[in-house]
Each structure stands twice: as structure tokens, then as C-alpha cells.
Structure 1
Amino acid sequence: MPHTYQPRISATTLNDPLRAVEFMNGDSGRIFRTAGIGPDDLEGEIGLKKFVDFCEHASDQLGLPDFGWRVGSVFDLQNLGTLGDFIMQAPTLGAALSLFRNAFPMVQSDSELQLTLEGGKALMTYRILDTGIWPRRQDAELTLSVFHSLVKSATGPDWQPDLLSLEHESSALQSRSSAGPRCPVQIAAASNTLVFPAALLDLPLADSESPAFKAASQSMVRTARQSEREAPVAVRVRRELLMRIGRESFEQTAIATALGMSRRTLRRKLEEEGQKFSRLLAGCRMEIAKRMLRAPGAQLHDISERLGYSEVSAFERAFRQREGATPSQYRKQASACGATVLGVSALGSGPGS
């Protein structure tokens, strides 16, 4: 991304994570400093990475690996401003989740939020479209917990999802504890997804339909789309690439169409920003590759296939040319660095540290 551009999130989303830290006697000031959050960040918008880092550091400091899920289960939708107010005025659960999906860029940028139907199941999917924001375990679980609570507000407290999929490699939610989703949890998935019966989307949510809901929701969706269009073209291309790679066509014409322009116009606008589509595509592929190579058990064939290379050798060649090492060498180096960090952490946590 251009160095002046930073993914952002409404600062009010910090209200409940901060409240949870203070309720459990955590050192919020220390967490703020560690996450790089200053007084000016608490008004308007905050960098998305700072929000994610706050949640990660809060989990570590409090010794609560399920911190994100706990906060999400009591998250006040009014933290989302007007969007949160109207989500709770939606006539049905489906209308509420659809508004959440379509107007989400009002609250948080550079993120994927999808509501899809597959074989009688509804899939609510969430993912940050910036591979540099990692780890992001607590943010992912917090967000899915918000969706989980919204579904429960329509179904009742005893409801359980069919499945929870998470993009990180481990989760405290796998324990099936009463505080978690109490359902099967899949880890190392392509995205974070809550799965439940599609029939639940028709359940009523509000006591009565708000006359202003339809007009307000349409206005918020227009505002959200305009917010996305205001980002640099290179950023918008990266978003589309990171959403599409491994799922659907990410050829230049398909990306241009998704952005509402011709291939020629897209090329011209990228040139005006000093960018090329091929360079952006290569960068996104390598970012995804490095993320997957750091995950245990990922096979080169699977990585190559997801990235759209015809053969593993083509992936290995492209990776070596860009990163100066083969995928296998990179994986060994990353593993060694991880072991070193773990060793230092272990030494630093003993008596007298």
C-alpha cells in the first residue's frame, strides 16, 4: 500500500475492549503505549493495526486467550454509531446482517465482510485485507462473537452455531467451554466464518419495523461505498486481489470490472500513482505465500495452487526472484526466528525478569 495510507477503524470500537481491561484491573495505559495508541487516537478514527494490537496485548497482559470472544459477546453495537443503531432496528436477522455487511466500510476499512448462502447454510465471513496486520486472533474472534451475539438475539440464548472457522493456527475456543461458541471450531482456515442455518435469517429481530430503516440503510450503504472509492486506486486493487486470490478470477480485466472501470482506465490510474498491476499482484501473492509458509503443515502444492501458479516450480521460481530465497529456505528461516523469539520470551518470564 502507499506509505501514506493506513487502514482505519472508528475509535469508539475501542470502548468495550478498554472497558474490559479496566474491569479486570489491567494496565490500560501500558497496553496503549505498547500498541502505539496516543490521546489523539481516541477521537474519530484510529489505525486498524493499533486496534488489533490493543486486543492482542490485552489478551496477553490479562492471561485471557479468549479475550476477543468475551468482549464481542457483550459488545455494544452503539459503538458503531448510526450503523449500530439501525442494525438493531432491522426487521429481521437477515436484514441486520446484510446492513452490517454492506455498510461495514463506514466503521472499518480494508476488510472483507460477506454473507453467503450455501446448501441451506448461512456463512458470515470476516477478514482484514492487510496481511501486515498479524497476529490478529483477538480481533477476528471479537468480530465473530459480535455476529454470534446478534444471531442469539433473534434465536434465544441456547442457540449454537454449526461451525466456527478461524484463519489463525490455534484458538482457546476449541475447548468447547461455556463461554465460547460451543460448536466445532476449525483453525487455519482461509477466513473467519460463522456458519448457521440459513432459515434463521428470516427470524424477526426488532419488535416492530422502523419506518426509517430502509431509507437510512440505503444512505449508509451509499456512504460506505463512497468511502471505499476514496482510497487510492492501488489500495482498492490490493483489496480486490486479496479477496479474490484462491477463490475467483484475479485477472486484470476482472479487477477493473469490479472497480467499475475498463482495463485501460485501471492501467492509466495506476500509472498516475506510480504503480503497475503486475507489481501489485506479485506483492499480494508473496504476502499470502509468506503467511501460509509460516503456518505449520501447509504444503507447497497447496500454496502454489491457491496463488494461481500452474506448477509448484513456477511458484518457487517467482518466490526466489522476489524474496531471494526458496519457499523452503524461507520457511526454515521463519521457523528458526520463531523459535528464537519463543526462547527469549521463556527466559524473560522467569523469576527476577
Structure 2
Amino acid sequence: MRAPITRGPSPSAGTSGKRTPSDRENRIGLRRKVSDPPPQEGPDMLNSVISETIAGTVLGGDDAGHGQPFVEGEGFVPLSFFVDRLETLRQRSEGGLYAWTVGEIFTFDMLGDLGEIIACAPTLGHAMRQLAQGLPMLQSGAETSFTVIDDEARLSYRVLDPEIWPRRGDAEITLSLAQNICMRFGMPRGALRQVGLEYVPDRDPSECARHLRVMPRFDQTENYVAFPARFLSNPSVTGSAGTQEFSERSRALLDRLSRRQSRLATGELVRARILRHIGRGSLGQASIASELGMSDRSLRRKLSVEATSYHDILEECRRAQGEALLTRTERSLGDIAHALGYSDQTAFSRAFSRWFSMCPSEIRKSARQPAAGDLRPGLAG
């Protein structure tokens, strides 16, 4: 436990576009003023879920019974539940390698329709692009990308919701899955050039480095594996379907993803876009509206129907992501203010003082201060 921070008034909450803060917000030692309403248990910021099949495979059958109907008859479990259980298994495992080793045993059929499409990919390049595009079929609330720059290919992944933390095992199992696919297309095990992880090491990383055959880079802005681009032309070692069949199945999967997204509340779509953009792109309402394929006016109207506004959602995301950056990283206050889209550090400090009744530097100091009897160091990812 760590010394608590007294929290000031929170942004407005509700349903659909708005959300009610949950007890997870107290994980880093934050608590409300006595005059504030008690926190209510609720979904995470993005209602993120993961395939019940994947959860059952990773966690074991006993933990697979928390599914809920989602779309098209598929069973999903809350991503926060999965991540919490996986962290426990990781901590108990020898060398903390549980997630790395489990990711290596996945077979294509365990990944459902996405796995079937990857299995018939004509080359590793096609397979990795399909993984990046199709991962939302298995898990929501995350961002996955695949890029090729010069002679290096990179698969990047991160959970968008800052409230889902720690999430070391989730990052490790996803990167391990990517490496697993690479090896099924003939890439040698020791071919990884880089492995990046968003958390700071919680133990001696030498065991992990021996397993991966490369020392990971920690405290990165996202999780990633990088390998030589020459392997992208490798065909599957087990054979693959023709390019036309692969393309048709890939388009069908993207159509399903598009239909799934169309069912989401506008507020959820906006929240996810903002969390993607923080520190990486414009946080302006017009920019987000354009990405969602609608006008600024149309976006305002849709959010109004859901009893929320762009400003409310932006402030909610700023507060949650700001807490994370202050308490989990060593980034300067100026850098954090810029990442959150504030005009200057003064505006950033004023907003956080209003929310938490403490300035940003005090929030950071308090979150790192051990409580009485706690001899552990400050917060580590």
C-alpha cells in the first residue's frame, strides 16, 4: 500500500458515452474526499473484452466461466479480469516467464477465424498485417500496428485503457504470439532484433533475455517486437492457400469488424480515439470527428443524445492518462502537459489541482511514497 492522495471532484459520469469511476481508480492510492459520493463498481473506460476461448486457454478452465454474450454468439470476458488473473500467474511462475511460454503454444485454431486466415496467408508479411488488423476480433480496447521501415519490420501493441494496470503479462503474451507466428513462417527463434516493453522491470531481466535471446528495452511508449524485414517473404512452413482466397477471407473479416464497431456508442468510439491520440496526434474535436467519418456538428449531436460531450470525454481521458504518466513514468511535467494537449504546464497543473486537490508534482510524490510498514520502492509498472 502507498500513501493515499485525496481526490477532488471528478468529471461527470453516467452511461453509454459517460462512465462511472470504479474502485480500480484507487489502485495507485487515489481516494475521494469524504464529501464526494462513494466510488461505484463499473466497467473500465472502454468496456474492453477478450475472447473467452483465449482467456480459458491462458488462465485454465476454472477461470473461463466469466463470459458474457457479445456479438455473433461469441463469448468474451472483461479484459481487466483477464489481465489481473494473468498477472497473478506470471508472478507465481519461475522467472516470470509464464506469459512468454504460453504465447508460444498457441495454434492457429485457438485463434478462431483470425487464426484460420493467418494460417492461409501466403507469406509472413501477409500474416503479420492480418494479425494487426484482426486482433480486435479477439480483444477490444487495444491498438496494434505493423510497420516496415527500411530493413526492419515491427509489430506494436498496447492496451489503451490506462486503468488496466499492471498489464505486463498481457503485453508479453501478445508479443510472444507474434513471435510464434513468425516462427511458423520459418523465422529462426533468435532472429528478433528488439523487444520493447512499456513497463519497468519488476525482477532481474536476465532470465527473460535468455528466453528471448535479446535483452528487452523497458519503459517504452508501447510494446513491440522488431525483426529483419527479409523474413516477410517467407511462406508458411505448413503450406498456405492462394492469394485470392486469403484476400477474400481477409476482406470478410474486416467487414465483420466494421459491423461490430457500428454497434458501439459514439462516446465509446470517441474515448478510444482520444486515448490513441494522447501524446501521438491531435486531440481536437474536428480531427476526431473526421476520423470517425462524420462532421463536427454530427458528432456533437450524437454525443448529446448520449448525455455527454466531447469536452467531458476529453477531460476524463486526460485525467486517467495523466494519472498514469505521473505515477508510472519519469517524464517531465512539461512533457506530460504537452502529451495531454494542454497549452502549457500551468493549464495542466490547474486542471489536476482541481481534480485531485493536489498539484501534479505532489500527486507523483505521494504515489511513490510507501505507506507505514511498506518497505517496497515506489510504483513500478
TM-score (norm 2): 0.79
1:209 and 2:241 aligned: yes
Structure 2 equivalent of residue 334 of structure 1: 367
Q: Could you tell me which of 161, 166, 169 is aligned with 2:192?
A: 161
Instruction: Give the count of matched residue pairs.
Output: 330
Q: Could you tell me which of 180, 197, 200 is aligned with 2:228?
A: 197
Structure 2 equivalent of residue 239 of structure 1: 272
Task: Provide the secondary structure at the position in 1 that maps to 2:205.
Answer: helix
Q: Could you tell me which of 57, 75, 79 is aligned with 2:110?
A: 79
- The superposition leaves residues 149-198 of structure 1 with CA deviations (integer Å, 9 ceiling, x where unpaired) of 11122233343212111111215583265653222412111111112223
1:150 and 2:150 aligned: no
1:131 and 2:162 aligned: yes
Higher RCO (CA-CA < 8 Å; seq separation 6+): 2
Question: Are the aligned partners of 2:97 and 2:208 in contact in 1 as well (CA < 8 Å)?
Answer: no
Q: CA deviation at 1:79?
A: 2.0
Structure 1 equivalent of residue 92 of structure 2: 61
Q: Distance in 2 between matches of 1:244 and 1:257?
A: 13
Q: CA deviation at 1:61?
A: 3.4
1:253 and 2:286 aligned: yes
Q: 1:40 to 1:108 in 2, by over 3 A?
A: closer
Q: List runs of 5+ in structure 2 lacking aligned partners.
A: 1-17, 20-41
Structure 1 equivalent of residue 334 of structure 2: 301
* Seq. identity, %: 32
Q: Which amino acid aligns with 1:199?
A: R
Question: Are the aligned partners of 2:155 and 2:225 in contact in 1 as well (CA < 8 Å)?
Answer: yes
Question: Are the aligned partners of 2:52 and 2:67 in contact in 1 as well (CA < 8 Å)?
Answer: no
Moved more, 82-91 or 150-159: 150-159
Structure 1 equivalent of residue 315 of structure 2: 282
Q: CA deviation at 1:89?
A: 1.1
Moved more, 205-214 or 237-246: 205-214
Moved more, 301-310 or 187-196: 301-310
Q: Distance in 2 between matches of 1:45 and 1:197?
A: 35
Q: 1:49 to 1:77 in 2, by over 3 A?
A: farther
1:70 and 2:111 aligned: no
- The superposition leaves residues 38-95 of structure 1 with CA deviations (integer Å, 9 ceiling, x where unpaired) of 4556971111111111111112234552221111122223222111122111001111
Structure 2 equivalent of residue 22 of structure 1: none
Q: 1:194 to 1:156 in 2, by over 3 A?
A: closer
Q: 1:293 to 1:342 in 2, by over 3 A?
A: farther
Q: CA deviation at 1:145?
A: 0.6
TM-score (norm 1): 0.85
Structure 1 equivalent of residue 28 of structure 2: none
Structure 1 equivalent of residue 147 of structure 2: 116
Q: Distance in 2 between matches of 1:194 and 1:107?
A: 20
Q: List runs of 5+ in structure 1 lacking aligned partners.
A: 20-27, 347-353
Q: CA deviation at 1:293?
A: 1.0
Task: Provide the secondary structure at the position in 2 that maps to 1:340.
Answer: coil
Q: 1:345 to 1:61 in 2, by over 3 A?
A: farther
Larger fraction in helix: 1
Question: Are the aligned partners of 1:162 and 1:184 in contact in 2 as well (CA < 8 Å)?
Answer: no
Q: CA deviation at 1:342?
A: 8.2
Q: Which amino acid aligns with 1:113?
A: T
Q: 1:97 to 1:179 in 2, by over 3 A?
A: same
Q: Distance in 2 between matches of 1:178 and 1:315?
A: 39
Q: CA deviation at 1:139?
A: 0.5
